[in-house]
Structure 1
Amino acid sequence: MNEVARVDGPAQPADMDAVPQNIEAERQLIGSILTDNDLFDRAASVVQSAHFFDPVHQRIWDLCAARIQKNALASPVTLKPFLEGDEGLDALGGPSYLVTLAASSVAPYAIRDYAQMVHDLAVRRALMSLGRDVTAKAGDVTVESEPSEQIVEAEQALYALAEQGRAERGFQSFVSAVTQAVEVASAAYQRDGGLAGLSTGLKDLDRKLGGLHRSDLLILAGRPSMGKTSLATNIAFNVAKAYRRGMTHEGKEGAVEGGVVGFFSLEMSAEQLAARVLSEAAEVPSEQIRKGDMTEGEFRRFVEAATGLQNAPLHIDDTPALPISQLAARARRLKRTHGLDLLIVDYLQLLKAASAKDSRVNEVSEITQGLKAVAKELDIPVIALSQLSRQVESREDKRPQLSDLRESGSIEQDADVVMFVFREEYYKEREKPGDHQLDKMAEWQAAMDAIHGKAEVIIGKQRHGPIGSVDLSFDGRFTRFGDLAKPWQSGER
């Protein structure tokens, strides 16, 4: 969108009476700053010069800001030399107008309310400007002007408009920081497990990661058939199933347990993904669901599971070859309409860059940067699945490592957490000796028994904590990962 759609550059149409503005509030706000410079920081956390409707007020505000930031006094007397010959000021009565402003100051306790009023009226003007811009572009019918692209641009502009004007945090006292840390820890403690982030539903993985942290990009990588999609589906199901709405520790209404999940399935259809979720919930093998080969009891469990999950906040988008800009726009729309606490993308290499690049490495770099931007913008964890290169297969030790990531530079750099799914059983099955090799067969069978139903999540990078491995159970019949019972946990699961 062009500049006219932004709060910091509002257009001023000829019919001023139709434009939301309050000149008197602007005067009193600036007058208060001119009489007490200490109030500037309180107002500047809400309003900027471009939020003022009157261009003269914009210039006066900029001068005030420049002088106050240099620890110099901003008053009618000190500003006068900088505004000599200003045509706009001359039209309002010249330098004496500065004295008039100072005389119209308001009480210090009201300064933030006046700043908020000036800001809100600027947002209204920007909305009107954005509407005119969208109308003009829609009416300009050209080959280059695709309606779908216009919708994405309009949504991006609207979301940016909604996010503008939030007070900057700046420096905080240690007492304030400690208070917030205690509030986060208290919320984590009440979440049963002491997690700082969203629970995956897998206890050992949660302990290693501390949960899924907001604004983080997590890469879940593996070779085909390792179970990447299964693990991502399990996490999505666990988060959506645990969803409970209430008042958060921040004093807002939202998810206090679990969360709303958005799942971009670029490889599988929504129906196939739903079948996987239902297979896990109903404990009916996914291939039997696909073939319809179920007993009456299994079908009843399948229907009961479907009924129980129909209200789970799990939203699936199976549009193939989605550009990163479209994905971001759809994620914004989902958060605005239904809320969004976790986003999963299956998988990274199937996304498209917004524009053609000279190499695939640069395209993947744009995609990973875009996903990280979505995580920060929407303040949610984003899990993106990724394929590994074939060089894993040529090594004797098949455990993946960071260098195995395709186009690994950008993925490794932009991700906060990189995890690999590894099932040794998959490779061991392919080493089965011939039936006539009895000694080798017995040795192979013993090795298979030791690793059967086990999987490993290798954490190769983590900004918030240590790297290492997490052992999980894996039931291939239901494509389900779970917590692995340790020998000393015979009495608990």
Structure 2
Amino acid sequence: MSSMTPPAPDAEGSLFDGDPVDLPAQERGALPKAFRAPDEEFDRVPPQDLGAEQSVLGGMKLSKEVIAEVIDILDGHEFYRPAHETIYRAIVDLYRAGEPADPITVAAELTKRGQLAQVGGASYLHTLVQAVPTAANAAYYAEIVRDRWKLRKAIETGTRVTAMGYRQDMDPGEVVEASAAELLALQASFDTGKDPSGWDTPMQDLIEDWEDDQTAGEDPGLPMPYADLQTMLCTVPGHLVVFAGRPGMGKSVTLLDLVRHLAIVHGRPAAFVSLEMARRQIMNRLICAEAEIPQHDVRTRRMSKEQWNRYYKVRQRIVDAPLRLIVPPGGITVPQIRSNLRRWQIEDRLPAALAVDYLQIIKPDLQGRGGNRTNEVDAIARGLKELALEFDIPVFAAAQLSRQTTGRDSKVPQLSDLRESGEIEQAADAVVLLHREDYYEPASERAGEIDLIVAKNREGSTGNVVCGFRGRFSKIEEMGA
């Protein structure tokens, strides 16, 4: 690759008037030789539009209103030429200080910073203004600058992914996972726009949105199989609801009840991610609950004729339900869940709710490996809440309680019993603790009952919902149902 030097400033001090292909290799950002095909042994110029960059800067120096528009689109790092980013930051700093940003004031600011010569001198600043007949199209040119930056970022990410593929010391699964994380991070960096966080949303707009919601009719929240719990929680998109209990207390039964009710009864898409049961086990429980066939008879394949008849009555209802049962081989991380939700979103197949069984056995992502367990679980809890907000769906997650409950006189669980993490309680919009007295005392007078203790509820009251636990059918029912 030949070494080329950039043209020197002319007498007027202007720079880079020639074709961009004359830029030096380090500014062109050519791909490493190892990643080029045999017929690609030449220097590639990354996507850029110097004319658009010059038009943006020229327009900004013509109108302060244009500066405000461009700031909403560009941060400064999107410029291909470093000199243009330097000029942009000087203009923005003057604007934020309430000073005019014309060629003279910008030149003075750059002189004060010792940067005027490196951007091409005062005459180049005047050239930028003279080359733009009107400031009206500056925002349009800013979008072009941003689009070219996105393409360069995509190339950079692709190069890193390619480099990982060539590594011999990485497990293929880790390569795929790390590559997916790179691409998701790239997508996240692009998911920005004007007013991404509501910084400039007027109260008038917010109050009108609120009024529209209130006059749209009653919204009881996501349909749940237990009416009292639905009334208390009023679960809506963006919520993370944690159902916590000791092993065997009924966490999986509860989550499967929720998605089964949503998909089979109400015909709304739902997804159930299981990290501790095989798909056949989940199907056994699903059919037992719908057809009310004892789990033992299904598991041992000793169904009677009458039980087969009950199964056939519900078979088509199950087949038609928009329910997805996911059992990831080798476990799953939060970024992998996000990747699949993103794919479903693109395919317009996003579920109305996602259930994960259970939180503490989600794998920490690659960046979290080597850390302590509490930090890993904290990151997983925060990640699930972020998924709920990002995809605007409720996420239900089972969580394990510690053994502290078994060592107390009162076995009723508390929020402090959440195992390995205080972040679970913090991240969740609601925490429901599961408790059955017959779990500890089989002869209890409350045998067959389960308490759904709403111990935390950001958007409503706390309290206790008592239901019937029909473990042999793998289902929970409202009392008296």
* TM-score range relative to shorter protein: 0.7 to 0.9
| Cα distance in 2 between the residues matched to 1:350 and 1:290 | 25
CA shift at 1:222, angstroms?
Answer: 0.9
Structure 1 pair 366–64 and aligned structure 2 pair: CA distance change class (3 A): same
Which residue type is aligned with residue 370 of structure 1?
Answer: G
Q: Secondary structure at the match of 1:35?
A: coil
Structure 1 window deviating more from structure 2 (126-135 vs 475-484): it is 475-484
CA distance in 2, matches of 1:106, 1:35: 6
- What secondary structure sits across from 1:413 in the alignment? helix
**1:401 aligned partner:** 414
1:149 equivalent to 2:174? Answer yes
- Aligned residue number for residue 290 of structure 2: 281
Matches of residues 11-26 of structure 1 in structure 2 within 5 Å? Answer: 12-14=28-30, 19-26=46-53
Match of 2:233 among 205, 209, 219: 209
* From 382, 385, 391, the counterpart of 1:372: 385
The corresponding residue for 1:267 is: 276
Matched, 1:41 2:54: no
Change (3 A) 1:105 1:28: farther
> Are residue 90 (structure 1) and residue 120 (structure 2) matched?
yes
**Does the Cα contact within 8 Å between 1:217 and 1:416 map onto a contact in 2?**
yes
Q: Does residue 469 of the first structure (1) align with residue 464 of the second (2)?
A: yes
Find the counterpart in structure 2 of residue 342 from structure 1.
Answer: 353
Conserved? CA contact 1:201–1:238, under 8 Å? yes
The answer as to 2:249 corresponding to 1:226 is yes
- Total equivalences in the alignment: 434
Helix, strand or coil at the partner of 2:363: coil
Q: What does 1:381-396 correspond to in 2, within 5 Å?
A: 381-396=394-409
Decide which of 442, 445, 451 is 1:456's aligned counterpart. Answer: 451
Residues 271, 116 of structure 1: CA spacing in aligned structure 2 closer, same or farther, 3 A cutoff?
farther
Cα 1:298–1:317, aligned 2, differ >3 Å: closer, same or farther? same
Instruction: Kindly indicate whether residue 478 of structure 2 is the aligned counterpart of residue 478 of structure 1.
Output: no
Distance 1:180 1:201 in 2: 30
Query: For each residue in 1:128-149, what CA deviation from the matched residue of structure 2 results, as whole angstroms up to 9, or x when unmatched?
Result: 232222223212x322x23222
1:199 is aligned, of 194, 217, 223, to 223
Gaps of 5+ in 1: 1-9, 245-257, 432-447, 486-492
Aligned residue in 1 for 2:327: 317
SS at match of 2:77: helix
CA contact (8 A) 1:323 1:351 kept: yes
Question: 1:212 Cα deviation (Å)?
Answer: 3.8
Structure 2 unaligned regions, length at least 5: 1-25, 31-41
Map of 2:79 onto structure 1: 52
Residues 166 and 309 of structure 1: CA distance in aligned 2, closer, same or farther (over 3 Å): farther
Task: Tell me whether 84-93 or 204-213 shows the greater mean CA deviation.
Answer: 84-93
Is the CA contact 2:225–2:261 (under 8 Å) kept in the aligned structure 1? yes
TM-score (norm 1): 0.77
1:161 aligns with 2:174: no
Counterpart of 1:316, as a letter, is I
The aligned amino acid for 1:83 is L
For residue 93 of structure 1, report the CA deviation from its aligned partner.
Answer: 5.1
Distance 2:27 2:342 in 1: 26
**2:28–2:44: 8 Å Cα contact kept in structure 1?**
no
**CA shift digits 1:161-202 (9 cap, x unpaired):** 223233323132221111222344456x3xxx523x533343
Contact 1:454-1:472 at 8 Å conserved across structures: yes
Report the CA distance shift for 1:392/1:88 in structure 2 as closer, same or farther (over 3 A): same
Task: Report SS of the residue matched to 2:472.
Answer: coil
Q: State the SS of the aligned residue for 1:94.
A: helix
Which secondary structure state, in structure 2, belongs to the residue aligned with residue 470 of structure 1? strand
AA aligned opposite 2:69: R
Aligned-residue CA RMSD (Å): 3.2
Question: Relative to structure 1, is the Cα distance of residues 430 and 391 closer, same or farther in structure 2, using a 3 angstrom cutoff?
Answer: farther
State how far apart, in whole Å, the 2-side matches of 1:92 and 1:64 are.
14
C-alpha displacement of 1:42: 3.2
The equivalent of 1:126 in structure 2 is: 153
Asked if the contact 1:242–1:259 (Cα under 8 Å) also holds between the matched residues in 2, the reply is: no
Displacement after TM superposition at 1:233 (Å):
0.7
Matched, 1:353 2:364: yes
Could you tell me which amino acid in structure 1 is paired with residue 285 of structure 2? R
On the 8 A contact 1:270/1:318 being kept in 2, the answer is no
Q: TM-score, normalised by structure 2?
A: 0.79
User: What is the CA–CA distance in structure 2 between the aligned matches of 1:473 and 1:185, rounded to whole Å?
Assistant: 35
Instruction: Determine if contact 2:290/2:314 at 8 Å carries over to the other structure.
Output: yes
Matched position secondary structure for 1:49: coil
Alignment partner of 1:179 is 2:208: yes
Q: CA deviation at 1:334?
A: 4.8
Please tell me whether the aligned partners of residues 269 and 323 of structure 2 are also in contact (alpha carbons under 8 angstroms): yes
Alpha-carbon distance between aligned partners in 1 of 2:117 and 2:141, rounded to the nearest angstrom: 27
Contact 1:417-1:461 at 8 Å conserved across structures: yes
CA distance in 2, matches of 1:77, 1:16: 38
Identical-residue share of aligned pairs (%): 28
* Shift of residue 306, structure 1, vs aligned partner: 4.1
Q: Secondary structure at the match of 2:107?
A: helix
CA distance in 2, matches of 1:92, 1:299: 88
Offset at residue 275 of structure 1 (A): 2.0
Q: Tell me the distance in 1 between the aligned counterparts of 2:56 and 2:306.
A: 72
Question: What corresponds to 1:251 in structure 2?
Answer: none
Matched letter for residue 210 of structure 2: A
Amino acid at match of 2:209: Q
